[in-house]
Amino acid sequence: MSAIVLLTDYAWPDDSVERRVIESAGFRLVTGPASPAPEAAIDALVEQHQPDAIMTCWAQVSAAAIRASSRLKVVARLGVGLDNIAVDTATEHGVWVTNVPDYCVAEVSDHAVAFALAWTRGLIGFDREVRSGRWNPASANLRRLANMTCGIIGYGRIGHATAMKLNAFGCRVLAHTLYPPADAGHVQFVGFEDLMAESDIVIVHVPLTESTYHLINHSSLALMKQDSLLINVSRGAIVDTDAVVEALRTGRLSGAALDVLENEPAVPPALLSCAGAMLTPHAAFSSDASLTELRRRAAEEVVRVLQGSAPEQPRNAPRPQHAHR
């Protein structure tokens, strides 16, 4: 019997890339609904199909789902973050967890810099004004990006790429990370509070963990300069949305550029009412090249594990399966 791979959901028109990789290796692909089903529905799919591997985009792969298939060997995330996978349970049950950590470095860092440029050049506001019939260049209150101090919270692959692009514009770049590299060129590593206080633009690039939940909150926003910009292209729950709305209304922030939200796709009406809010639909990762690479590499990781090899991008160290199955 050939191994079964369950694709829980997908954020693109079809499953052709995944299917080509999985089926060319002699395995069978079973595909769930395109939009992520509720957790209980995913649990039921796993119980029904008993997959040897699960690939997931946004759907929750719960502890119950991982326990439901005695054949399960790997859960592969079609993305970077692992907050929708019960990693501890997978580890305990001898199941690999993988992701594709570097497929969208260029896209997400481009998106962050694009938000910064849109703010300094007033692109969103001008577009709204012209569409409303107002042509008033004298109203411009623009900024020179080269004069800005930009603070990057998190200095992994994407944070590093963002820093290099901002350096090219002539910005002063600060960064905060738990493990700063020995040589980072024109980047100054500082404490979190110093970064918040000194930056004209703060960019969030950290993953969502227990320690980063609502890292950006009323207290940290109070440290920021008046009329500054917050950019979040990481995970929505790192930022307290209510605190951002208040900061926009009081003028502490003149802009909040958010590609991710706490309860997406729901957008709080209070945030929509803020003129300084720039919102995109969790699309920073996306391009024609990045999506093709993501889908192919995630499927190849599954094939690698099902053929008996270790994955190239393991995110856990699973216990031997014979001890738990």
* Length of the chain, in residues: 325
CA 252 – CA 112 distance, rounded (Å): 20
Order of strands across the sheet with 53-56?
Answer: 28-31, 4-7, 53-56, 74-77, 96-98
HSE-up (13 A, CA, CB side) for residue 38: 2
Whether 163 and 310 map to the same domain: the answer is no
Residue 295: predicted pLDDT: 98
What are 57's two structure tokens? 């985009």
State residue 107's pLDDT score: 98
Q: What is the domain count for the chain?
A: 2
| Spatial distance between the Cα atoms of 169 and 144, rounded to a whole number of angstroms | 10
116 and 228, same domain (yes or no): yes
Q: What is the pLDDT of residue 262?
A: 96
Q: What is the pLDDT of residue 183?
A: 79
Q: State residue 223's pLDDT score.
A: 98
- Domain residues for 170? 105-279
Say whether both 205 and 223 belong to one domain.
Answer: yes
Binning the chain into helix, strand and coil, the percentages to the nearest 5 are 40, 15, 45
The residue behind tokens 């951002």 is 244
User: For tokens 């990057």, what's the residue?
Assistant: 152
How far is CA 294 from its chain centroid? 13
Instruction: Say which amino acid occupies 192.
Output: F
Same domain, 115 and 28: no
Contact 94, 72 (CB under 8 A): no
Positions of the chain with pLDDT lower than 70, given as ranges: 321-325
Task: Report the DSSP beta bridge partners of residue 153.
Answer: 176, 204
Do 112 and 73 reside in the same domain of the chain? no
Distance of alpha carbon 254 from alpha carbon 276, whole angstroms? 6
pLDDT of residue 185: 81
Alpha-carbon gap, residue 262 to 195, rounded angstroms: 23
Positive/negative CA dihedral, 82, 163, 176, 259: negative
What is the per-residue pLDDT for 283?
95
Give the model's pLDDT for residue 182: 82
pLDDT of residue 320: 84
| CA pair distance 61, 81, nearest whole angstrom | 13
Same domain, 36 and 118: no
- List the one residue out of 288, 260, 256 whose CA is nearest residue 273: 256
Asked whether residue 268 falls in the same domain as residue 305, the answer is: no
Q: Which of 279, 295, 312 is the last residue of a domain?
A: 279
218 & 114 share domain: yes
pLDDT of the residue at 166:
98
Tell me what pLDDT residue 245 has. Answer: 98
Give the residue numbers marked as catalytic.
235, 264, 282
Outline where 241-287 has alpha helix (H). 241-250, 269-272
Task: Say if residue 127 is in the same domain as residue 250.
Answer: yes
Residues 56 and 172 in one domain: no
Residue in 325, 324, 317, 290 with CA at minimum distance from that of residue 96: 317
pLDDT score recorded for residue 184:
76
214 and 153 in a common domain: yes
pLDDT of residue 324: 46
- CATH number of 311's domain: 3.40.50.720
| Amino acid identity for residue 162 in this structure | T
DSSP 3-state of 203: strand
The alpha-helical segments, DSSP class H, found in 213-287 are 218-222, 241-250, 269-272
Let me know whether 37 and 111 are in one domain: no
The tokens describing 87, both together, are 């990693």
Residues in contact with 134: Cβ distance below 8 Å, sequence separation at least 6, in sequence order: none
Q: What is the structure's pLDDT at 120? A: 98
The dihedral built from the CA positions of residue 279, 284, 288 and 292, taken in this order, carries a sign that is: negative
Q: Are 142 and 122 in contact (CB under 8 A)?
A: yes
**Sequence-ordered list of residues with C-beta below 8 angstroms from that of 180, at least 6 positions apart, any chain:** 155, 189
